A and B are shown apart, each in its own frame.
Chain A
Amino acid sequence: MRSFCPRGILKCKAGKYPRQQSLGRAFAANGALLVALAFLCACCTPGYAAAPTFTVGWSVYAGWNPYFYMARSGILKRWADKYGVVIKVQRFDYAASLDAFVGKNIDACTMTNMEALDMPAAAGVDSTALIVGDYSNGNDAVLARSGLTLAQLPGKRIMLVQKTVSEYLLERAFEVNGLGAQIPRLRLMNTSDSDLVGAFLGDRNNPAAVTWKPLVSQILAQDSGVHSLFDSSKIPGEILDLLVVRTDILERPDGSGVRFAKAIAGAWYETVAQLASGAPAAIAGSAAASGDSVASYKDQLRTTYLFSSPKLAEQFAEGATLRQKMDLVRQFCFRHQLLGQGVQSVDDVAIRYPDGSVQGKTNRVRLRIDATYMQMAAQGKL
């Protein structure tokens, strides 16, 4: 049987030499490719002669849009040059920016205090909040239809992005109004933020939704039967928007991480000062970051408490109230298993404050609030 097989014929026809030759050629081609690749890599890898490069991820939000303007206007470049670093600013979807930060693909990222706790910190990525940029002062709201009150909401379907500050706000609304016992009776429908407005407005039987601006403004503008039941201005300072950097970046032995922190803090407070003084270029530049109109962006800024000077931010970061507010947030995260399925105690993801005190187990510090750079900015030492 075997001898019947035409393998032998094929071998004769193909011959031995041509194959070897082609193999040799393939190797040569591969070799050339390898050299080219190595060359490319050498060009891309930072740290040979070039200045150390840092990437900051941001996503669309009233308090973070200024990063776009900051990069666009050249403010950031000026500060980066001063400290001899290169800072790239990259826009992401919010969830993707967090994934990238936890995956260590970017060095710093904008996020709320809640996500700082349940994404990087809970995943064991030691992170430091460099800048306390703002807090939501009405940007997030609980909306309801046809005169419903908070007490009537349990049992009705509430649309929101679950396990985010929206759910936190909803629970706080019940707690603040003495309805805390009703929270387990809430019926939540997880709805993607990209479709929430359409889905909520599409059916007039949807009783309630929790979301943030500009979605809140869109809903309120399009349906006069919807009203706001509760918003984040009633829990000031609880939903914080931070710039978080990985602690190992900050602690780089060559000191480039510290230079990066100084540069970005300096650039941030220069940008914020422009915004606070109402400079039209700054406001228009930040509005352009999310494709909002200037009017819509100004409306969002009204309900965002921007720490307009480093002094204010530093005072807030060093104040005693921050500790209480963070405790509310971390207890929420723990209750909802956002710190991880297996985490036994809320203290397993500890927070270190500027005065050196630790909330939680001292050997498990994962999130550090660092006022150093805000302080330096306040003292004009940057």
Chain B
Amino acid sequence: MSATGPAFHLTDIQGRPRRLWTQSLSWMLFLVGILLYSQFSVARHKENPEDRVIPSGAQLIQGVKSAVLEQPEEDDPLDATATTWQRVSHGMLWRDTVSSSRRFFISLLLLIPAILLGLHMAVFPYAEAFFLRFFLFFDKIVALSLLPILFIVFGIDEWSKIMLMVIGVGPTLMLDTYNIAKSVPREQVVKAFTLQSSSLDVTYRVILKQILPQIINSVRLNLKPLALFLFAGEMIASTDGLAYRIAIMRRHMGMDIIIPYLLWVAALLFAMDALLRFANRRLHPWY
């Protein structure tokens, strides 16, 4: 007897929702979020038409427009003949995205040595003896509390913010890599040696190669802490960047700019995550 409707499957492990159901269910919470937001917004605007705490749709659209097209006020104004493209590329959102992304990618690059160190710790017993205890301890230090020291060592420009991200996320990534590499069966290493591999062959061609997809997944999980540290650094001392703008806008409740900025950051992180996931699937179809 065939099922009469999807309602019967709701609590059933074996339920197989149809495509239409999967699609519509997956958008449901978005819809609820938007509805709740607009209800709050409408209620607040009924009471106070100029409310800035929960901007209305029109205010948000205006906010997006000025974020994309208007220049940050610290820049020299463009002349009136500027094309739309020029206005976008000199606009707040683009300029802030560029400077924040630069910091983000530099620190991502600096995390590669941390991953390799984790790998070496797992493979070479002397490296393990030397580094492991220290990094287990260092990982537990709340990186934000180190900021005054970072300021003294790296100045208050770019490097203190980049190092905050590296110090905040590096040890976690390193220890995760260590754990993943440790879980590679010992037999494989022995086998590789019987096939006349060198130590480095084993490290890079046997172990790294097979744990790489897991490392990429670990990086994906760490994108958010990375962004968190970037935001913290930019909010504490900076002259540009996405979090800088949010900090400035907070001074006068510019939620009409802040909300689009937050959604933009979320979209960027999502795209980054999707890119890594895609790369992982293409590079390691066997995983």
User: A residues within 8 Å of B by Cβ?
Assistant: 2-3, 5-7, 95, 99, 102-103, 118-119, 122-125, 157, 159, 162-164, 184, 187-192, 194-195, 198-199, 202-203, 205-206, 336-342
- Give the distance in Å from the alpha carbon of A296 to the alpha carbon of B250 in the complex: 30
Report if B224 contacts A (CB, 8 A).
no
Return the chain B residue nearest A122 by Cβ.
B252
14 more A-B residue pairs beyond the given contacts A118-B251, A198-B151, with a C-beta to C-beta distance below 8 A: A2-B3, A5-B14, A7-B12, A103-B53, A118-B252, A123-B51, A124-B48, A190-B238, A191-B156, A192-B236, A195-B148, A337-B252, A340-B52, A342-B59
A202 & B151 in contact (Cβ 8 Å cutoff): yes
Interface size for B (C-beta < 8 A) is 40
Name the prevailing secondary structure of the B interface residues: loop
User: B residues within 8 Å of A by Cβ?
Assistant: 1-3, 12, 14, 48-53, 59, 62-63, 66, 70, 73-74, 76, 147-148, 151-152, 155-156, 235-239, 244, 247-248, 250-254, 256-257
* Choice from A5, A157, A190 contacting B248 with Cβ under 8 Å: A190
* Choice from A2, A124, A195, A203 contacting B50 with Cβ under 8 Å: A124
- Give the distance in Å from the alpha carbon of A119 to the alpha carbon of B249 in the complex: 11
- Give the distance in Å from the alpha carbon of A216 to the alpha carbon of B81 in the complex: 45
Shortest Cβ distance from residue B111 to the other chain A in the assembled complex, whole angstroms:
25
B53 & A123 in contact (Cβ 8 Å cutoff): yes
Shortest Cβ distance from residue B82 to the other chain A in the assembled complex, whole angstroms:
19
> Could you say which residues of chain A place their CB within 8 Å of the CB of B152?
198, 202-203
- Give the distance in Å from the alpha carbon of A2 to the alpha carbon of B62 in the complex: 54
- Give the distance in Å from the alpha carbon of A122 to the alpha carbon of B257 in the complex: 15
Return the chain A residue nearest B12 by Cβ.
A7
- Give the distance in Å from the alpha carbon of A6 to the alpha carbon of B2 in the complex: 13
> Could you say which residues of chain B place their CB within 8 Å of the CB of A5?
14
- Give the distance in Å from the alpha carbon of A18 to the alpha carbon of B275 in the complex: 49
B248 & A163 in contact (Cβ 8 Å cutoff): yes
| Contact flag A191-B1 (CB < 8 Å), given A338-B252, A341-B257 | no
13 contacts between A and B (CB under 8 A): A7-B14, A123-B52, A124-B51, A188-B74, A189-B237, A191-B237, A195-B237, A199-B156, A203-B152, A203-B155, A203-B156, A337-B73, A341-B63
Residue of B66, B155, B156, B244 with highest tally of chain A CB at under 10 A: B156
> Could you say which residues of chain B place their CB within 8 Å of the CB of A199?
148, 151, 156, 236-237
